Chains A and B, each alone.
Chain A
Amino acid sequence: MHRLRKIKDKGARWFMRVMAFSAILILLIIGIMLFLKAYPVIRENSLLKLLSSSNWKPTAGEFGFLPFIISTLYVSAIALIIAFPLSLLSAIYLNSYASEGVRRVIEPVTDLLSGIPPVIYGVWGTITIVPFIARNIAPGFAGSSSGYSVMAGGVVLAVMVIPLMVGLFTEIFNSIPSEMTDASLSLGATKWQTVKRVILRRSLPGIVAVTVLALSRAFGETMAVLMVCGNSIRIPHSLLDACYPLPALIANNYGEMLSIPGYESALMLAALILFVIVFIFNGLSRFTLNRLERRFHF
């Protein structure tokens, strides 16, 4: 009886340990597999050339990733420019101004927003944002645009990263000890002065970390952006041009045109680029957030 219990405990412990290590292993396997698959195309062309050329002719063996990289950066930048101020202001409001009742109403709102699938955001974007740009914005500037553009991708993406940013910002602000804000308020500072001089200054590393995290989420978002950004292979020159981000490149072509030599490898390189960028961005920001967490014990 006694021995059986010990054996069960030992067995369970080993099983759990193996599971925990296999999780670490999966991360390694993904990285190695993507690298091995992408290696042939890196060997044939230099990495620098792949990243800086804008010639995308798979049948001729030319793979220039520049249009896709620029598109990704462009769309993500627009998304953050829209999402950052909205999320920050809203998070400050929820943390320092809103009553308990308001907070209880808004919290499910961000929860539900973050739960909506990318495809639904894409459908929403094609129904509302794309025609709006084509009809109301484009005629004022460039003349004609189908509406499927950098701007549409940026707006849809902004709406998608807002719930993530609001949630994490609020968490960071909540972790600031109330003694600090109380001290500032009791010295006669207004609420906004307290926010500016205590809360924002105190949580600056956290704000940067969250922004980097949101940026890496934006880089990898596939379906919603793919549905509204037009997918034409060239470097976008204005907000109203169509663009073609990296994830959309993989989604549109992978699995179909594997008979062209080097194509699969090139698409795997796109996945590897995303993986490496997200790995670095995520790693840095999670590291910062974890350290903040330890400091404040939230």
Chain B
Amino acid sequence: MLMKRLEENIFRVLMITATLVISGLLLFILGTIIWKGAPALSWDMVTKLPGGGFYLGREGGVLNAIAGSFYVITGAVAMSMIISVPVVMYVNFYLQHKSILAGFVRFCFDILLGIPSIVYGAFGFALMIFLGMRASLGGGIITVGMLITPIMMRSFDEVARLLPGELTDSLLSLGSTKFEMIKVVMRQLMPGFITAALLATGRGIGDAATVLFTAGYTDNLPGALSQPAATLPLSIFFQLGSPVPEVQDRAYASALILTGLILMLSFTARYFSSRFSKHKI
């Protein structure tokens, strides 16, 4: 009896400790980034392009990387929407409930979800050589799009699966075609769709390995799809590799900017998903 209680208590303490350690890690990481990044953060960092002696520690900012990341992720999210919306709709509303094909498509996306971003990066680069493209904004968009499509598809699919059958049944029994049904259903699924898109945005904007070979790097703003584009994660990586302390400090500041962006996206996504559960039929 005593042993039973003792064991219970030991494990309870261990479990609470583990949970505290995990929560502490988040605070530790965020704290480190803020502590190192905040002193070097300035208005110039976010509003200026790298100046002449930027990589020696002189004036300038990382606007090139912020804008480049923005362009890449906008294109990539648009691309992954165009693919994932039809696929999710097809799998959930056109195929039968227990269809083997639906299961297979989901399975393929699960595998795609697990493929490391460096493999997407290498594949994307090989594909670009094959198509005769050079490292460019367009190449970055395609590769990041491939990386985030499975993420978007999975989280959107999870929401679509929960849609009550009564809604689709009543629409169909009123004589609508499946396509018309989908237009109504999309409205109901909108918050879940936005959450999925925000999640995918967060993953795509922070990934460095996909854009390493495919998007290139430049100190200017990308003007066309065929020009190279700088991205925030790569800018952090390159600046951190510099021997100049001022440049390293700027890497920390850039890391803080990226972390801030990710946190904002994450909170917005949570807001939309809680709204979604409130309005669920």
Question: Which residue numbers of A lie inside 8 Å of B, CB to CB?
Answer: 5-6, 8-9, 12-13, 15-17, 19-20, 22-24, 26-27, 30, 33-34, 37, 85-87, 89-90, 92-94, 97-98, 105-106, 108-113, 115-124, 126-128, 159, 162, 166, 190-193, 195, 213, 216-217, 219-223, 227, 247, 250-251, 254-255, 267-268, 271, 274-275, 278-279, 281-283, 286-287, 290
Tell me whether B29 and A124 are in contact (CB under 8 A).
yes
Tell me whether B33 and A268 are in contact (CB under 8 A).
no
Question: Is the C-beta of B279 less than 8 angstroms from some C-beta in chain A?
Answer: no
Question: Is the C-beta of B240 less than 8 angstroms from some C-beta in chain A?
Answer: yes
Contact of A271 among B19, B101, B123, B130 (CB under 8 A): B123
Which residues of B are found within 8 Å of A121, using beta-carbon distances?
29
Q: List 24 A-B contacts (CB under 8 A).
A: A15-B86, A16-B87, A17-B90, A23-B112, A26-B146, A37-B126, A85-B18, A98-B19, A109-B23, A119-B206, A119-B255, A123-B252, A162-B25, A193-B4, A195-B11, A216-B114, A223-B209, A255-B213, A267-B122, A274-B118, A278-B114, A282-B110, A286-B114, A287-B107
Contact of A124 among B5, B32, B103, B127 (CB under 8 A): B32
Interface of A: prevailing SS: helix
Complex interface residues of chain B between 137 and 173 (CB less than 8 A to chain A):
146, 149, 153
Shortest Cβ distance from B256 into chain A, in angstroms? 9
Contact of A223 among B107, B205, B237 (CB under 8 A): B237
* A190-B5 contact given A13-B178, A108-B270, A219-B116, CB 8 Å threshold: yes
Contact of A250 among B112, B118, B233 (CB under 8 A): B118
A-B pairs, top 7 by smallest CB distance, nearest first, are: A220-B116, A117-B206, A16-B90, A93-B15, A282-B114, A89-B18, A9-B177
Give A97 to B11 CA distance when docked, in angstroms: 11
Q: Which residue of B lies closest to A289 (CB)?
A: B110
Complex interface residues of chain B between 93 and 131 (CB less than 8 A to chain A):
94, 101, 103-105, 107-119, 121-123, 125-127, 130
* A268-B126 contact given A123-B255, A124-B29, A223-B208, CB 8 Å threshold: yes
Tell me whether B18 and A220 are in contact (CB under 8 A).
no
Tell me whether A26 and B33 are in contact (CB under 8 A).
no
Contact of B116 among A89, A90, A93, A247 (CB under 8 A): A247
Question: Which residue numbers of B lie inside 8 Å of A, CB to CB?
Answer: 4-5, 7-8, 11-12, 14-19, 21-23, 25-26, 28-29, 32-33, 36, 83, 86-87, 89-91, 94, 101, 103-105, 107-119, 121-123, 125-127, 130, 135, 146, 149, 153, 177-180, 182, 199, 202-203, 205-209, 212-213, 233, 236-237, 240, 251-252, 255, 258-259, 262-263, 265-266, 270
Shortest Cβ distance from B278 into chain A, in angstroms? 15
Which residues of B are found within 8 Å of A92, using beta-carbon distances?
15
Tell me whether B266 and A111 are in contact (CB under 8 A).
yes
Shortest Cβ distance from A88 into chain B, in angstroms? 8
Tell me whether B15 and A123 are in contact (CB under 8 A).
no
Tell me whether A23 and B18 are in contact (CB under 8 A).
no
Which residues of B are found within 8 Å of A126, using beta-carbon distances?
240
Interface of B: prevailing SS: helix
Give A290 to B89 CA distance when docked, in angstroms: 20
Give A220 to B117 CA distance when docked, in angstroms: 7
Shortest Cβ distance from B35 into chain A, in angstroms? 9
Which residues of A are found within 8 Å of B90, using beta-carbon distances?
13, 16-17, 19-20
Contact of B177 among A6, A117, A247 (CB under 8 A): A6
Tell me whether A106 and B19 are in contact (CB under 8 A).
yes
In the complex, besides A16-B94, A120-B255, A216-B114, 16 extra interface pairs with C-beta distance below 8 angstroms are: A5-B179, A9-B177, A16-B86, A16-B90, A20-B86, A116-B262, A120-B29, A159-B29, A221-B116, A222-B116, A222-B118, A223-B209, A247-B116, A250-B121, A267-B122, A278-B119
Which residues of A are found within 8 Å of B87, using beta-carbon distances?
16, 19-20, 23
Which residues of B are found within 8 Å of A222, using beta-carbon distances?
116-118, 208-209
* A127-B36 contact given A220-B118, A221-B116, A223-B233, CB 8 Å threshold: yes
Most buried by A among B25, B87, B209: B209
Which residues of A are found within 8 Å of B19, using beta-carbon distances?
89-90, 93-94, 98, 106
Give A113 to B146 CA distance when docked, in angstroms: 23
